Amino acid sequence: MTQARYLCPACGTTLAADRPLWRCDCGSHLNLAPGEGLVRGEIETGDASLWRYRTALAMAGAPRVSLGEGWTPLVARDWDGATIRFKLESQMPTGSFKDRGTAVMLNHLLEVGVGPIHEDSSGNAGSSIATYAAAAGIPCRIFVPASAPRGKVVQIAASGASSASGCRASMKRSPLSLIRVAPSPRSASVASGAGSRPTMMAVG
């Protein structure tokens, strides 16, 4: 099992991504270093989900939160005389391919003990992160623009939110323009200790 690593784009330092790190000692932000990928024999073919590729995802252990993400149907259809295969990502848990990255990110945050989450989203990422954060018991705030699709705003609220939205530019200055996603009741005991954790900020 490989381990995820951070790479500093300024000084080239690499660091194990096994603990909360806000930035490099040189002051730069950190990127995740490219992974090693995987070969066919490393695919867990008995797992009909995203986690069949867990070897390439460089997590320390098995996922703690999963909503059945991944392994969406691949359907062949004719398109102007050519056979095209469509990957039906609408079959993901929140209806968006964002669930792939969200599932890996939230499980990594659980491993390293990061939370709460503040997310700036036009809809799909916010809905996905709100849903997985509720399942993981990590408090979460979603910032959305006034133009965000109502369905996505409702979806975010369904994760335990009261909501408000505004102009995406102005909402970055206004604390009123946000959707607050409360931890789910069943995970309240997990979330109660989250206030002292570092905070994760994501943009998607």
Regarding 24 and contact with Zn ion (CB under 5 A), the answer is: yes
User: What's the closest the beta carbon of residue 87 comes to Zn ion, in angstroms?
Assistant: 38
User: What's the closest the beta carbon of residue 33 comes to Zn ion, in angstroms?
Assistant: 13
User: What's the closest the beta carbon of residue 57 comes to Zn ion, in angstroms?
Assistant: 25
27-35, 97-105, 119-127, 180-188 -> range binding Zn ion (CB under 5 A): 27-35
Q: Which is nearer to Zn ion, 8 or 136 (CB)?
A: 8
Regarding 26 and contact with Zn ion (CB under 5 A), the answer is: yes
Q: Which one of residues 11, 32, 154, 167 is an interface residue with Zn ion (CB under 5 A)?
A: 11
Q: In what order do the strands lie in the sheet with 31-32?
A: 14-16, 5-7, 31-32
Element (H, E) at 136: helix 124-136
User: What's the closest the beta carbon of residue 7 comes to Zn ion, in angstroms?
Assistant: 9
The size of the interface with Zn ion (CB under 5 A), counted in residues, is: 7
Q: How many CA within 13 A on the CB side of residue 141?
A: 14
Measured over the CA atoms of residue 107, residue 108, residue 109 and residue 111, the dihedral's sign is positive
Q: Which one of residues 8, 50, 65, 144 is an interface residue with Zn ion (CB under 5 A)?
A: 8
Which amino acid is it at 179? I
Q: Are 146 and 167 in contact (CB under 8 A)?
A: yes
Q: Which one of residues 2, 14, 28, 31 is an interface residue with Zn ion (CB under 5 A)?
A: 28
Based on the number of CB atoms within 10 Å of its own CB, is 126 exposed (0-12), middle (13-18) or buried (19 or more)? Answer: buried
How many other C-beta atoms are found inside a 10 Å radius of the C-beta of residue 54?
21
Q: Are 50 and 103 in contact (CB under 8 A)?
A: yes
User: What's the closest the beta carbon of residue 19 comes to Zn ion, in angstroms?
Assistant: 16
10-18, 98-106, 179-187, 189-197 -> range binding Zn ion (CB under 5 A): 10-18
Which residue is associated with the tokens 């062949």? 76
Whole-angstrom Cα distance, residue 141 to residue 190?
A: 17
Whole-angstrom Cα distance, residue 114 to residue 118?
A: 12
Regarding 10 and contact with Zn ion (CB under 5 A), the answer is: yes
Q: Which is nearer to Zn ion, 28 or 162 (CB)?
A: 28
Binding site for Zn ion (CB under 5 A): 8, 10-11, 13, 24, 26, 28
